[in-house]
Amino acid sequence: MADAKVIPFDEDRPRRRMPRRVRAVPGPGPAEQEPLAPAPEPAPEPGPEPEAAPAERGDGWDRRIAGGLAFLRRRVTGEYEVDDFGYDKELTDQVLMSLMRPLYDKYFRVEVKGVENIPAEGGALIVANHSGTLPLDGLMLQVAVHDHHPAERHLRLLAADLVFMLPVVNELARKAGHTLACAEDAQRLLEAGELVGVMPEGFKGIGKPFGDRYKLQRFGRGGFVSTALRAGTPIVPCSIVGAEEIYPMVGNAKTLARLLGIPYFPITPTFPWLGPLGAVPLPTKWTIQFGEPIPTDGYAAEAAEDPMLMFNLTDQVREQIQHTLYKLLVQRRSVFF
């Protein structure tokens, strides 16, 4: 018996062309041939759209896996760059931002306003209020600038000494672009065209009791204004609403704080009573608004040494942030929605 040819199911079988039937038309000449009109075929019923081919569906995952493997290879072999401050742009974009984004988008549901007030290029100093017992507002501010600015700019935050004394936190902070809150580092970053973020309230802001929420604390001696004047960069006031309620601080165990060497030991309705579960922040609704920039490039070089000018500019920035906070609070429907 002759071998049979196997036709795969996914191959299109060739269709045999059937000869057309003709009929003779009587007339004086040879019979003219006229094809019989085929019977109309029923219109096909609409069905579900064809699914993407497996190869097309797999392309996206293949690219992600390949990109992930390439990223791991660069981390293992050391083929990545960090700047003089330890900032690792690739790690920040691909890992740290990805870890913070669900908290930003889904948990706090941050709404951003006035992002067009941040310059598209060049240095600028973003000055924001500070609150929340733990400094999550700084991290959310970084995501807001990167994800909402058309140029996807990165914010370099100035952090307190304590951040760089903690194991693990120290390394992650430097990788994410944070640097020590000193005038020299801030000026270097501004003159290099970076966006620099500062929260002048410091521990007085994040460690204030819940009864003082949204009341700005003292802004120090105006060192951030002096830095902006020396670099000739604009100052962008920023107001953050929603962070005050994530850990309502109803008490402060000062004795325990001194023993641990930390500025304060917060007592909230859930911490330390619920243990580690009490460290979970409340899912409040956040709003971040960037105000109109205050230019500093029109002042003379010696203006940075004028204490009266620094006081006036510091007060102007503080008043603008406070006024915007009150306005956002009036517009807010609920702490959680």
Q: What is the pLDDT of residues 264-308, one digit of tens each?
A: 999 999 999 999 999 999 999 999 999 999 999 989 888 999 999
φ/ψ of residue 33, rounded to 5: -100, 130
Please give the pLDDT value at position 51.
55
Contacts 24+ apart (CB under 8 A), 188-193: 189/85, 189/123, 189/156, 190/123, 190/124, 190/125, 190/227, 190/228, 190/231, 190/233, 191/123, 191/231, 192/123, 193/121, 193/122, 193/123
More confident residue, 314 or 71: 314
Percentage with pLDDT > 90 across the chain: 73
Residue 72 reports pLDDT greater than 70: yes
Q: Which residues contact 33 (CB under 8 A, 6 or more apart)?
A: 22, 23, 24
Under 8 Å between Cβ of 311 and 254: no
- Determine the pLDDT at residue 14: 43
The predicted structure's pLDDT at residue 6: 40
- State the chain's mean pLDDT as an integer: 86
Q: Are 124 and 236 in contact (CB under 8 A)?
A: yes
Instruction: Grade residue 57 by pLDDT with cuts at 50, 70 and 90.
Output: low
Provide Rg for the chain, Cα atoms. Answer: 32
What is the average per-residue pLDDT within 2-25? 43
Provide the 10 A C-beta neighbour count for residue 111.
15
- Determine the Cα–Cα distance for residues 253 and 267; give it in Å rounded to an integer: 7
Q: pLDDT class for 49, splitting at 50, 70, 90? A: low
pLDDT at residue 3 tops 50: no
